[in-house]
Amino acid sequence: MSIRNDFEKCWFYEANVQFKENFEDVQAAHQQNVPSDKAKVTVLETKFNFSRIKNKEDKKSDDSRSKKNLGTETASRKGIPKNAKV
């Protein structure tokens, strides 16, 4: 009996996390822009956004919009100059 992998499911979550790291002096702490591998992580909150199931046999790409509609302009902005404040 073979296992078929015809479908793929992706889950999308938002997470609120806290990183804590100890330093020897205040200057080292100030210069650290991102937590290192030594930082302790606590997940404070998670929120499920949505999930998506895809048929892996489907030949469509992830961006299935037509080539004509790949821009960011929306119908409500037609005729408004791009530098106009809305």
Using one digit for the tens of pLDDT, what is the confidence trace for 18-48? 999 999 999 999 999 999 999 999 999 999 9
Closest CA to 47 of 4, 17, 9: 17
How many domains does the chain divide into?
Answer: 1
Residues of the chain with pLDDT > 70: what percent?
65
Residue 40 CA to chain centroid, in angstroms? 22
Is residue 86 assigned to a domain?
Answer: no
For residue 64, pLDDT over 80 is answered with no
Is residue 51 assigned to a domain?
Answer: yes
For residue 49, pLDDT over 80 is answered with yes
pTM strictly above 0.75: no
Is residue 5 assigned to a domain?
Answer: no
Average pLDDT score, the chain = 82
Residue 14 to residue 19: CA distance in whole angstroms:
16
Is residue 4 assigned to a domain?
Answer: no
Is residue 30 assigned to a domain?
Answer: yes
Q: Domain residues for 49?
A: 13-57
Confidence of residue 56 (pLDDT cuts 50, 70, 90): confident
Q: Which helix or strand (DSSP H or E) is residue 10 part of?
A: strand 7-20
